[in-house]
Amino acid sequence: MEKLLDIGFLIESFPVIIQRLPMTVGIAVGAMVLGLLIGLATALIKIYQVPVLKTISSCYVSFIRGTPLLVQIYLVFYGIPKVIYYFQYEKGWLLSLDVNVIAPEIYALLAFSINLGAYLSETIRSAIESVDRGQFEAAKAIGMSPTQMMLKIIFPQALAVAIPNLGNMFISTIKDTSLVFIIGVIDIMGQAKILGSRGLVFFEVYIAVSIIYWIVCIIVERLLVKIEKRARRYERGVAS
């Protein structure tokens, strides 16, 4: 009689799946860093109403928010090599670049960064605009340059407002990395699928991978709570 749940196989699958955890976390962290840079640039373009770039950034945000992440991953994975080939053979550029040696992890990182940049831009923009306008005027009154004003006054206060949303986006990104297996990246979800297919024991490996995702997200959530508390203390210090 077939077992409902093979506990032994379930326990044995944990260390095998966890081996690929650095890949999952690495893509999520890398995408978050690049996404923050893209999001910050896009947010500042909208805030300062930069001609032409404002329209481009609005179209970018609208497109990303209006299309599934899965489609975006495919567009990056199949589109970038096509663009590179075009410039190589039609324009004679990028001849030293071989798309065949570009690891699928790079495409995954780019896709997630582009996706996060669009969503984070709105989070960053709203956080910056939530800072009291008097802070801007006070910084100008004491002779601060726009860069100094942003780095020393505005960004620290905006960060305290944005951290909860940034944390939620990061946790969602960790879970969304389960999609990267479709382009050949072996993360914890990909490892679970491979392991399960060997003996057609999918139920156990999916339980294992879900527990791993759950634990990782709990740890990240606890760290974010501590970061938010520190940011709030800094915000009160600036306000006083």
212 in Cβ contact with 63 (< 8 Å): no
pLDDT above 80: residue 29: yes
State the DSSP code for 177.
G
Q: Does domain 7-239 have CATH number 1.10.3720.10?
A: yes
| Distance (Å, whole) CA 195 – CA 204 | 10
| CB neighbour class for 58 (10 Å; exposed up to 12, middle 13-18, buried from 19) | middle
pTM beyond cutoff 0.85: yes
pLDDT tens-digit profile of 90-103?
Answer: 766 766 777 788 89
Q: What is the pLDDT of residue 131?
A: 83
Name the residue among 179, 163, 181, 157 with its Cα closest to residue 228.
163
CB atoms within 10 A of CB 140: 12
Give the start-to-end residue ranges of the domains of the chain: 7-239
